[in-house]
Structure 1
Amino acid sequence: MDTIASLFSFITTPVSWVIVQFHKLYGALFGDDTGWAWGLSIVSLVVLIRICLIPLFVKQIKSTRNMQVLQPKMKAIQERYKNDKQRQSEEMMKLYKETGTNPLSSCLPILAQSPFFFALYHVLSAIASGKTIGVIDQPLLDSARQAHIFGAPLAAKFMDSEEKVSALGASLTDVRVVTAIMIVMMSASQFFTQRQLMTKNVDLTVKTPYMQQQKMLMYIFPVIFAVMGINFPVGVLVYWLTTNVWTMGQQMYVINQNPTPGSKAQDQYLNRVLKSVTSHGEVRGRTRRNTVKRIVAKGPDRNDIERKFITGLAKLGLAAQEDGTVTKSEAAVLEAEGGAAPKRQQPKRQTKAKRHTAATPPATAKSSGSTGSEAKTSLEKQDDKPKSADKPAASGSSRQAKSGQRKGPQRPKHPSKK
């Protein structure tokens, strides 16, 4: 502990100064020695730190999504160079460089707030030991030792002995009940945050080992927090519970407003946008317009959810534009009305016999030079023929057409060949 405290001693004074400034504010409202004043000071410290870390959180989201997109390519590289680890690492680094992805970006928020966490832990441990630290002098130290949150002192731990808890003016039962409830809440918030990320904000069309790793972490992280939590002072549990709740709320906002393409959250988000367009006839909000703009820019590379959204706009008689707005589309209106704009129909395919009949010159054209009486005589002769003789003739002509003989009138045979 002394080694860790010495590593983060450079930030102990700033952290203690921020806590004291917030304590002055809340002490004027609730009293200097109350748990509300000191507890809210720790909560305000968390909020301040997380607001400063918002740019890193945005970078973390982008990095996480890029890693999800690159998983199929990474898997292909691993299979291709499974016997050459050096070449595999080189290809991985090349892929990261080409796509501008940093695998460590997803850990930036946790790494950035780690110094504040250890500094606060050291400050609360010094308060429990009765030692001044940073800008916390003896009067502030006495005030902090008297502060209780639901009967548990700020510096008390779940594993503390009864004598140590009694020295802080509390009972061991109160300390263990309060710390146990806070540990459960801390682990549950961590589990829910990871679960909503996996169930709502993951592209379900891509099955990669990365998703399996995230599922494992969803169950491992809460267990780690529960095991570590029994050794945290109450003040540190307040800090960690607050930062978990902040992360959960921040995650919910990102999922609702900027979901991962192809995820369940994107389907829900685009349905909300479509309902808003139905009610108001336009895309309201810059964020939603930017979303529609990105969908239009994708063109044929849209996923099934985005195609469903474009189809929904077409049924309303609207078409998405490149600037993210929607306009009336006559083609979409006619298509939505169903049949107002008939589609072009292909002509039906004729049978082979009909095509042969159409290709054969009509009988009237052959006998154009005949007299009317000759034409009448020929017609009468045709009528005198029995109907049964017509069928063989038709079948014979069809057989001739099928056998590939030349169509039209045949050349008479030579008398010697009869």
Structure 2
Amino acid sequence: MDTIASLFSFITTPVSWVIVQFHKVYGALFGDDSGWAWGLSIVSLVVLIRICLIPLFVKQIKSTRNMQVLQPKMKAIQERYKNDKQRQSEEMMKLYKETGTNPLSSCLPILAQSPFFFALYHVLSSIASGKKIGAINQDLLDSARQAHIFGAPLAAKFTDSVEKVTSLDASLTDVRIVTAIMIVLMSASQFFTQRQLMTKNVDLTVKTPYMQQQKMLMYIFPVIFAVMGINFPVGVLVYWLTTNVWTMGQQMYVINQNPTPGSKAQDAYLQRVLKSVTSHGEVRGRTRRKMVKAIVAKGSDRNDIERKFITGLGKLGLAAQEDGTVAKSETAAADAEGGQAHKRQQPKRQTKAKRQTTGHATAGAKDTESAAAGSKTSLEKQDAPQDSKPKSAGKPASGSSRQAKSGQRKGPQRPKHPSKK
């Protein structure tokens, strides 16, 4: 603990000072020794830190978009080197370097708030040990030790002994129940955050290492938090649960307002835009117009979801414009109707027995047609008039049936000139 304190001493004092300032505000409302005053001070610290991390979150979103743009190239690399995993990884890293994309950018907010997390952990541990730290003097230390949240002291942990919990004026049962519930909520919120990212905001048509990384984090992070949570003080659990809920809400907002191209979230978003256009006859909102503008700029590179949206506008007699608005267009409506009319219908697949029955019936029909054709030919020969003149039994006419010799013309020969006899 002393080693950690020395590593994060540069931030321990600012964190403790911020908690004290928030405690002054909430202490005036709930009382200085109230668990709500100290708990809300920690929640406010989380909110302040996450607001400061918004630029990093924006960078994370941009990096995620770059990953989506690179997915066709990544798929081509996978297909080209599918039998050579090492070369495939080398080409992927080369592509990341050329485009300035970092596949680990999703971890930036967690890494950035890690120093604050360890600083808060050390502050709460010092409170549990009865030691002054940073801006927390003796009076504030005594007040924090008396603060309870649902019967559990801020500095108590799941693994604490009965003697230690008793020294904090609490029961071991209350501490373990409260900490267990908070650990479960913390892990569940982390899992849900990663799951909604994987199921709603990822282009599932392309399999990339980025997707494998996110899928791995979806299962690993909740387990890590659950294992580590039993050693976290209640105050740290409040901190981490709050930051997980913030991340979940922030991500839900981004998924609903700026979904990844080709994802289920984009399909749902464009359906909402289409419904709004149907009701109002225009694209409302700057964000929506920006999205439509980006789709128009793609041209033939649109994905299936975006083409479906453009077709839906055409059925309404509207066409998307370059500035993100829509305008009436008879051509768009005709193209949409024509594309729907010429849509290829796939024949239903027949069973083996039905195919055999159809084959036998076809063969029988062909045999019947052949027999009928033969009978008709025989009747025609019988009804044909016989030639009354008998054929001559003599030699055939010259040049009519004999083959001409090589170099001579067929048919009757022209008589030679008298002078050449």
- Shorter chain as normaliser: what TM range? 0.7 to 0.9
Residue of structure 2 in register with 1:15 after alignment: 15
Shift of 1:93: 4.8
Letter in 2 for 1:331: T
TM-score for the superposition, normalised by structure 1: 0.77
Shift of 1:204: 1.5
* Counterpart-to-counterpart distance in 1, 2:249 and 2:127: 31
User: Residues 302-332 of structure 1, C-alpha deviation per residue, up to 9 Å, x if partnerless?
Assistant: 0000000000000111100111111111223
Conserved? CA contact 2:81–2:87, under 8 Å: no
Residue of structure 1 in register with 2:48 after alignment: 48
- Structure 1 counterpart SS, 2:202: coil
User: Residues 346-389 of structure 1, C-alpha deviation per residue, up to 9 Å, x if partnerless?
Assistant: xxxxxxxxxxxxxxxxxxxxxxxxxxxxxxxxxxxxxxxxxx99
Conserved? CA contact 2:42–2:239, under 8 Å: yes
Residue of structure 2 in register with 1:281 after alignment: 281
Is 1:31 equivalent to 2:67 in the alignment?
no
* Alpha-carbon spacing, 1:33–1:302, altered in 2? closer, same or farther (3 Å): same
* Counterpart-to-counterpart distance in 2, 1:40 and 1:198: 32
- Structure 1 counterpart SS, 2:283: coil
Residue of structure 1 in register with 2:307 after alignment: 307
Letter in 2 for 1:139: D
Letter in 2 for 1:60: Q
* Counterpart-to-counterpart distance in 2, 1:98 and 1:309: 33
Shift of 1:223: 1.1
Residue of structure 2 in register with 1:138 after alignment: 138
* Counterpart-to-counterpart distance in 2, 1:241 and 1:83: 40
Residue of structure 2 in register with 1:72 after alignment: 75
Give the alignment of 1:345-360 within 5 angstroms.
none
Residue of structure 1 in register with 2:252 after alignment: 252
* Alpha-carbon spacing, 1:250–1:149, altered in 2? closer, same or farther (3 Å): same
Residue of structure 2 in register with 1:385 after alignment: none
* Counterpart-to-counterpart distance in 1, 2:209 and 2:200: 18
Residue of structure 2 in register with 1:148 after alignment: 148
Give the alignment of 1:82-93 within 5 angstroms.
82=85, 89=90, 91-93=91-93
Residue of structure 2 in register with 1:330 after alignment: 330
* Counterpart-to-counterpart distance in 1, 2:219 and 2:111: 21
* Alpha-carbon spacing, 1:311–1:49, altered in 2? closer, same or farther (3 Å): same
* Counterpart-to-counterpart distance in 1, 2:217 and 2:2: 30
* Counterpart-to-counterpart distance in 2, 1:52 and 1:77: 43
* Counterpart-to-counterpart distance in 1, 2:220 and 2:118: 22
- Structure 2 counterpart SS, 1:319: strand
* Counterpart-to-counterpart distance in 2, 1:23 and 1:78: 59
Conserved? CA contact 1:315–1:332, under 8 Å: yes
Shift of 1:186: 0.3
* Counterpart-to-counterpart distance in 2, 1:175 and 1:334: 69
TM-score for the superposition, normalised by structure 2: 0.77
Letter in 2 for 1:247: T
Give the alignment of 1:376-387 within 5 angstroms.
none
* Counterpart-to-counterpart distance in 2, 1:257 and 1:207: 24
* Counterpart-to-counterpart distance in 2, 1:14 and 1:322: 50
Residue of structure 1 in register with 2:169 after alignment: 169
Q: Aligned pair count?
A: 344
User: Residues 2-51 of structure 1, C-alpha deviation per residue, up to 9 Å, x if partnerless?
Assistant: 21221111000100011011101111111110011000000000001001
* Alpha-carbon spacing, 1:116–1:322, altered in 2? closer, same or farther (3 Å): same
Conserved? CA contact 1:274–1:312, under 8 Å: yes
* Alpha-carbon spacing, 1:105–1:213, altered in 2? closer, same or farther (3 Å): closer
* Alpha-carbon spacing, 1:77–1:3, altered in 2? closer, same or farther (3 Å): farther
The alignment yields a C-alpha RMSD, in angstroms, of: 2.4
* Counterpart-to-counterpart distance in 2, 1:248 and 1:102: 22
Conserved? CA contact 1:77–1:92, under 8 Å: no
Shift of 1:82: 5.0
Is 1:240 equivalent to 2:240 in the alignment?
yes
* Alpha-carbon spacing, 1:316–1:114, altered in 2? closer, same or farther (3 Å): same
Letter in 2 for 1:72: K
Once the two structures are overlaid, the 10-residue window that deviates more, 204-213 or 229-238, is 204-213
* Alpha-carbon spacing, 1:212–1:282, altered in 2? closer, same or farther (3 Å): same
